[in-house]
C-alpha cells in the first residue's frame, strides 16, 4: 500500500514546492517537478524563500554578483557555524494542508544554505511538516551528501516523514568547477576560460531536467500510487 492509499474522497493531492534559489537552478529543477505533478492533475503551490537578512540581503538581491569573491565568501563563516538568518516566506507555508512537501536545496559551502536552514529551524516549519511526507531535491556543484543529510535531519526534527531524494551536481573537478561557478556568479554568463583555466559547463543541464522529471514521476507513484 502506498503512503496515501485509502484517501478515497479526500480530494486531489496537494503538493508544496518549498525552496531557496539564488541563480534559478533549484527553481529550474522544481519547474520540471511541477510539470509532472500538474500533468497528473495534482494541485501544486510554490513557496520560494526570500533571504532578507540585512548582513547578506543586499549581496544576494542581485544577479550577477557585483563583487563575486567578497560576496560569495561573505556567508562562509555563518555557513561554517550552521547559523540561521532573517528570511521571508510566502503564505503558502502557513495556509496550506499538503499531502507532500518537495524541498529544493542548493548547497552552500558543503551544507544546506542558510535561508532554507533558517526556515527548517523556525516555528513555521513544524505545522507544515509534522506528519507529512517530504522529498529533497539537492542542487550543487559537488557536495550534495552533507546538504541532503542536513535537510533530512532538520525536516524530520519537525515531524516530517522522509520519502525519497535526488541530487544534481555540476561537472568538473574541484578547482575547475569552482571557477566555472564563480565566473557565472560574477558575470551571469557561461565562459570557456576563467583566470587562465579551461572551464567545464556549470548549472543544470537539459539531461538533468529530464532526470528531475523521471524522479518526480517515481516519487508520485510511491506516495500516491501509479496512474
Kindly report the pTM of this predicted structure: 0.91
Cα(202)–Cα(186) distance, rounded to whole angstroms?
13
52: cell is 532578507
Burial class (CB in 10 A: 0-12, 13-18, 19+), 158: buried
Which pLDDT value is given to residue 201?
Answer: 84
Which pLDDT value is given to residue 87?
Answer: 98
Q: Which of 107, 179, 68 is nearest to 190 (CA)?
A: 179
- Report all structural domains of the chain as residue ranges with CATH numbers, in order of start: 8-171+205-216 (3.40.50.360)
Digit-by-digit pLDDT tens for the chain (227 residues) are: 344 443 433 589 999 999 999 999 999 999 999 999 999 999 999 999 999 999 999 999 999 999 988 998 999 999 999 999 999 999 999 998 999 999 999 999 989 999 999 999 999 999 999 999 999 999 998 889 999 999 999 999 999 999 999 999 988 888 888 888 888 998 988 888 877 888 888 889 999 999 999 999 999 999 999 87
109 C-beta neighbours (distance < 10 Å), count: 18
Amino acid at each position: 500500500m502506498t503512503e496515501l492509499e485509502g484517501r478515497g474522497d479526500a480530494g486531489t493531492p496537494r503538493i508544496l514546492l518549498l525552496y531557496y534559489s539564488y541563480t534559478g537552478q533549484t527553481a529550474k529543477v522544481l519547474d520540471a517537478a511541477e510539470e509532472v505533478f500538474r500533468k497528473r492533475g495534482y494541485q501544486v503551490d510554490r513557496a520560494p524563500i526570500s533571504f532578507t537578512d540585512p548582513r547578506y540581503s543586499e549581496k544576494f538581491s542581485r544577479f550577477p554578483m557585483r563583487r563575486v569573491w567578497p560576496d560569495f565568501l561573505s556567508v562562509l563563516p555563518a555557513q561554517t557555524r550552521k547559523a540561521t538568518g532573517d528570511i521571508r516566506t510566502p503564505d503558502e507555508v502557513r495556509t496550506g494542508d499538503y499531502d507532500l512537501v518537495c524541498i529544493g536545496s542548493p548547497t552552500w559551502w558543503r551544507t544546506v544554505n542558510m535561508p532554507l536552514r533558517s526556515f527548517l529551524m523556525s516555528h513555521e516549519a513544524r505545522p507544515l511538516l509534522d506528519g507529512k511526507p517530504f522529498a529533497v531535491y539537492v542542487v550543487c556543484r559537488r557536495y550534495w551528501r552533507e546538504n541532503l543529510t542536513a535537510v533530512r535531519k532538520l525536516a524530520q526534527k519537525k515531524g516530517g516523514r522522509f520519502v525519497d531524494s535526488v541530487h544534481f551536481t555540476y561537472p568538473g573537478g574541484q578547482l575547475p568547477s569552482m571557477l566555472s561557478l564563480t565566473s557565472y556568479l560574477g558575470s551571469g554568463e557561461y565562459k570557456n576560460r576563467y583566470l587562465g583555466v579551461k572551464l567545464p559547463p556549470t548549472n543544470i543541464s537539459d539531461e538533468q531536467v529530464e532526470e528531475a522529471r523521471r524522479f518526480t514521476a517515481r516519487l508520485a507513484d510511491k506516495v500516491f500510487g501509479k496512474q
